[in-house]
Amino acid sequence: MKQDTQQQNYQMLVLIATPRLAEKASEMFSKQNVPIQYKLNAQGTASSEIMDALGFGSIDKNILISMVSSSFSSKMIEMLHSDLRLDSVNSGIVFTVPITGATTLLVRMMEKTNEETNLSNEGKGENTVNAGNHTLIAAIVDRGFSGDVMDAAKSAGAGGGTVLHSRSIADEDDMSFWGFSLREEKEIVLILANHESKKDIMTAISSKCGMNTNAKGLVMSLPIDSVMGI
C-alpha cells in the first residue's frame, strides 16, 4: 500500500453527464490511455415532467470515474469542457476529489498515463472553478427518500443533485447495537454545493432525513480539488 499519494497529488476525476456525453467522454479517456474507468447509472433530481416541459429530454445520467494525476486531470477537464460543452444546459459537470492513498500498482498506472498523455500544457486551469469554493455532499438514505433529501437541500440553497441506487452491506447486528434498523435498498444523493452553503445544507438534510427519521439517512461531505460545468 502506497500512502504518500497526497505528496504526488493524484485525484479521482468524476464526470456526471447524460449517457451520450458519458460515452463520448469514455472514448476520450481511452484515447488518452487512461487505464481505469468505472461507469455508474444514475438519475438527475428534476422530475421527468419538468425536463420534458423544458425540452431537455431524459433525466438519466451516467457517472464516469477515473484515477489520474493532478497535472493530467487539469488538462483533461479542459478537454472535457470544450468537447462536451459543459457550459451548456443539461450537459454535465466534472470535478476531482483528492486521493490520499493507493496501491503501488494504481500509482504506477497513473504515472504511466501522465507520461504518455499527448495533451498540451497550454491554457491549463483557465476555465477551472476555484476548488476551495465547492464541496461534495453525499446523503445515504433508504430507497424512496431521495426526493425528501433534495427538498431539504434546496430549502438551504442547493441547486440540484444526482441519485445513485445502491444497497447496504452493513451487519444488521452491529447497527442494532446503536439502535438502528437498516433496509438493504439505499439511495445516494450527490450534491455539489458552495462551501459557504455546506453546513446549512447538511443540517437541513440531517433534520429531515437523518437516522432518527424514516429515511434513516447519513450525511457527509468530501473535499473538491477542481470543478467545471456548474
Q: Do 93 and 182 sit in the same domain of this protein?
A: no
Residue 150 lies in a domain: yes
pLDDT in tens, 186-224: 999 999 999 899 999 999 999 999 988 999 899 999 999
Cα separation, 114 vs 179, in Å, equals 48
Residues 6+ apart with CB under 8 A from 45: 59, 146, 147, 150, 160, 161, 162, 163, 189
Cell numbers found for residue 3: 500512502
The residue range of the domain holding 52 is 5-116
Cell numbers found for residue 78: 479542459
Q: Do 20 and 104 sit in the same domain of this protein?
A: yes
Q: Are strands 10-17 and 60-69 parallel, antiparallel or unpaired?
A: antiparallel
Least Cα distance to 14 among 74, 65, 60 occurs for 65
Q: Do 216 and 157 sit in the same domain of this protein?
A: yes
CA distances, 181 to each of 54, 88, 131, 142, 170 (Å): 41, 43, 37, 11, 10
Q: Do 96 and 31 sit in the same domain of this protein?
A: yes
Q: Do 112 and 22 sit in the same domain of this protein?
A: yes
pTM of the model: 0.78
Cell numbers found for residue 187: 439511495
Q: Do 25 and 77 sit in the same domain of this protein?
A: yes
> How much is the average pLDDT of 7-35?
87
Q: Do 99 and 20 sit in the same domain of this protein?
A: yes
Please name every residue paired with 164 in a beta bridge, in sequence order, or none if there are none.
Answer: 188
pLDDT recorded at residue 160: 87
Please say if the pLDDT value at position 32 is more than 50: yes
> What's the structural domain count of the chain?
2
Show which of 81, 116, 151 is a domain's final residue.
Answer: 116
Cα separation, 62 vs 6, in Å, equals 28
Residue 91 lies in a domain: yes
Q: Do 51 and 83 sit in the same domain of this protein?
A: yes
Cα separation, 169 vs 180, in Å, equals 14
More reliable by pLDDT, 15 or 56: 15
